[in-house]
Amino acid sequence: MQEIYLDNAATTRVLPEIAQAMAKAMTENYGNPSSIYEIGQNAHDILDTSRQQVADLINAEPEEITFTGGGSEGDTMLLRGVARKYKNKGNHIITSAIEHHAILHTCQALEKEGFKITYLPVDKYGKVNPADVEKAITPQTILVSVMFANNEIGTIEPIREIGAIAHKHGVLMHTDAVQATGHVPIDVKADNIDMLTMTAHKFHGPKGTGAVYIRKGVKMEPLVYGGPQEHKMRAGTENTAGILGLGLAAVHAKKYMAEHSKQQIKLRDKLIKGILEKIPYTRLNGHPTDRLPNNVNVSIQYIEGEGMLLHLDMEGIAASSGSACTSGTLDPSHVLLAIGLPHEIAHGSLRLTLSEFTTEKEIDYVLEKLPGIVENLRKMSPLYQERKAV
Amino acid sequence: MRYSKKVMDHFSHPRNVGEIEDASGVGEVGNPVCGDIMKIYIKVKDNVITDIKFNTFGCGAAIATSSMVTEMAKGKTIEEALKLTNAAVAEALDGLPPIKMHCSNLAADGLKAAIIDYKKKSGLPCDNLKVEHSCCGGCGAAK
Q: Which CATH number among 3.20.20.370, 3.30.465.10, 3.90.1010.10, 3.30.428.10 corresponds to the domain B5-122? A: 3.90.1010.10
What is each CA distance from B13 to A80, B8, B17, B68, B89, in whole angstroms? 50, 8, 10, 11, 17
Q: pTM for the full model?
A: 0.94
pLDDT at B128: 77
What average pLDDT does range B86-100 have in this prediction? 91
- Encode pLDDT of A114-169 as tens digits: 999 999 999 999 999 999 999 999 999 999 999 999 999 999 999 999 999 999 99
Distance from CA of B13 to the nearest CA of A (A): 11
Residue B82 has pLDDT above 80, yes or no: yes
* Rounded mean pLDDT, B7-24: 96
pLDDT confidence band for B142 (50 / 70 / 90): very low
Compute the distance between CA of residue A230 and CA of residue B52 in angstroms, rounded to an integer. Answer: 66
CA distance A177 to chain B (A): 29
> Would you say residue B15 has pLDDT above 70?
yes
> Can you tell me the mean pLDDT for A189-197?
98
Q: Which site among A281, A299, A302, A310 would you substitute to test the B interface, given the most B Cβ atoms closer than 10 Å to its Cβ?
A: A310
Q: Are A325 and A304 in contact (CB under 8 A)?
A: yes
Which residue type is seen at A116?
K
Instruction: Determine the residue among A323, A330, A334 to mutate to test chain B binding: the one whose Cβ has the most chain B Cβ atoms within 10 Å.
Output: A330
Contact B33 A343 (CB under 8 A): yes
List the single residue in B8, B32, B39 with the smallest CB-CB distance to A344.
Answer: B32
Domain with CATH 3.40.640.10 in chain A: 16-253
Q: Which of B65, B67, B120 is nearest to B88 (CA)?
A: B65
ipTM reported for the complex, 2 dp = 0.90
Q: What is the mean pLDDT of residues A264-288?
A: 98
Other C-beta atoms closer than 10 Å to the C-beta of A288 total 10
Collapsing DSSP to helix, strand or coil, A11 comes out as coil
pLDDT reported for residue B139: 53
- Ramachandran category for residue A155: left, alpha or beta (phi over 0 → left; psi -120 to 50 → alpha): beta
Provide mean pLDDT across the span A282-303.
97
Q: Where does chain A hold its CATH 3.90.1150.10 domain(s)?
A: 4-11+257-389
Helix (H) or strand (E) holding A255: helix A240-278
Q: What is the dihedral of CA A49, A55, A61, A65, to 10 degrees?
A: -80
pLDDT, position B143: 36
pLDDT, one tens digit per residue, over A364-385 is 999 999 999 999 999 999 999 8
Return mean pLDDT, chain B: 89
Distance of residue A345 Cα from the nearest chain B Cα, in angstroms: 9
The phi and psi torsions of B62 (rounded to 5 degrees) equal -65, -45
pLDDT at B85: 92
Share of chain A above pLDDT 70, in %: 98
Using a CB–CB cut-off of 8 Å, the residues of A that contact B are 302-307, 310-311, 314, 323-325, 328, 330-332, 342-344, 347, 379-385
- Residue A379 is nearest to which of B17, B38, B103, comparing CB atoms? B17
What is the per-residue pLDDT for B34? 76
Contact A324 B39 (CB under 8 A): no
| Predicted local confidence at residue B35, as pLDDT | 82
Q: Confidence band (pLDDT; 50, 70, 90) for A250?
A: very high
Nearest CA in chain A to B39: A382
- Most B CBs within 10 Å, among A331, A333, A350, A380, to test the B interface: A380
Tens-digit pLDDT profile for residues A173-183: 999 999 999 99
Is the pLDDT confidence value at A170 over 50? yes
Whether A107 is catalytic: no
> SS in 3 state form for B66-127?
HHHHHHHHCCCEHHHHHCCCHHHHHHHCCCCCCCHHHHCCCHHHHHHHHHHHHHHHCCCCCC
Classify domain A4-11+257-389 at the CATH class level: alpha beta
pLDDT at B84 over 60: yes
pLDDT of residue B135: 65
| Architecture in CATH for domain A16-253 | 3-Layer(aba) Sandwich (3.40)
Domain boundaries, chain B: 5-122
Nearest CA in chain B to A328: B99
Overall average pLDDT of the A34-63 stretch: 97
The yes-or-no verdict on residue B87 having pLDDT over 50 is: yes
Residues sharing a CB contact under 8 Å with residue A43, sequence separation 6 or more, in sequence order:
A25, A29, A30, A31, A32, A33, A35, A238, A240
Q: Which of the pair, A380 or B101, is modelled with greater confidence?
A: A380
Q: Which residues pair with A350 in a beta bridge?
A: A298
Q: Which of A223, A214, A226 is nearest to A81 (CA)?
A: A223
Residue-averaged pLDDT of chain A: 96
Query: What is the reported pLDDT for B136?
Result: 61
